[in-house]
Chain A
Amino acid sequence: NAGVTQTPKFRVLKTGQSMTLLCAQDMNHEYMYWYRQDPGMGLRLIHYSVGEGTTAKGEVPDGYNVSRLKKQNFLLGLESAAPSQTSVYFCASSSLRSADTQYFGPGTRLTVL
């Protein structure tokens, strides 16, 4: 039981490049989330999903897109990366029964030059 996994662990991009971060969970959770973590600011919600095929905007959605084609996967895309998107990105998931208890992945450290 791997829990929540994220791919890749590290990535360096140049401004304007695109990339996709993959999150996978094997707990059959309905809800999935993408956060970014910046120094002194805690975590901020980018997008979330309440089920396969559905997504919604969080607190800081601009510059990101997401997709949830399969229940176990939640993808975060950056179409044209900017230095302001340099951050650590965390994926999380939670169950329908205990939606307020989130399980986090190990994070992806992204640097945009």
Chain B
Amino acid sequence: AQSVTQLDSHVSVSEGTPVLLRCNYSSSYSPSLFWYVQHPNKGLQLLLKYTSAATLVKGINGFEAEFKKSETSFHLTKPSAHMSDAAEYFCVVEGGGFKTIFGAGTRLFVKA
């Protein structure tokens, strides 16, 4: 069975500093992995997805994530946070057979 764990419920950074949002997954095979962002009172927007083509995945708005099979991790990073990055971020594993499993979410706060 597939599962996903977001290791931090809240992350706070200062504007201009790096962002790291951590995600671990469990899967019996090599899954498809995603990061979505949700701004307040908005729907979810796809940031990036991993489907085994390359372990380092670049997404929109300067975000990227690295798939590490040995660590079963798919952490999301950005070199320099912007105020507009403040949102909730969801790590998602596609479990096959329409089993899309969402993490509980990490809320990112960006301080001026």
Q: B-contacting residues of A (Cβ < 8 Å)?
A: 4, 31, 33, 40-45, 48, 50, 56, 58, 90, 92, 100-107
Does B80 reach chain A (CB closer than 8 Å)? Answer: no
Q: How many residues of chain B have a CB within 8 Å of chain A?
A: 21
Q: Which residues of B contact A104 (CB under 8 A)?
A: 36, 43-45
Within 8 A of A (CB), among B80-108: 90, 94, 98-100, 102-105
Which of B45, B46, B98, B105 contacts A58 (CB under 8 A)? B98
Q: A-contacting residues of B (Cβ < 8 Å)?
A: 9, 32, 34, 36, 41-46, 49, 51, 90, 94, 98-100, 102-105
Complex Cα distance, B45 from A40, in Å, reads 19
Q: Which residues of A contact B103 (CB under 8 A)?
A: 42
Q: Which residues of B contact A58 (CB under 8 A)?
A: 98
Which of B34, B98, B102 contacts A42 (CB under 8 A)? B102
A76, chain B: closest CB distance, angstroms: 15
Q: A90-B44, A100-B32, A107-B43 are in contact. Are A41 and B104 (CB under 8 A)?
A: yes
Q: Which residues of B contact A90 (CB under 8 A)?
A: 43-44
Q: A40-B104, A41-B104, A42-B105 are in contact. Are A48 and B42 (CB under 8 A)?
A: no
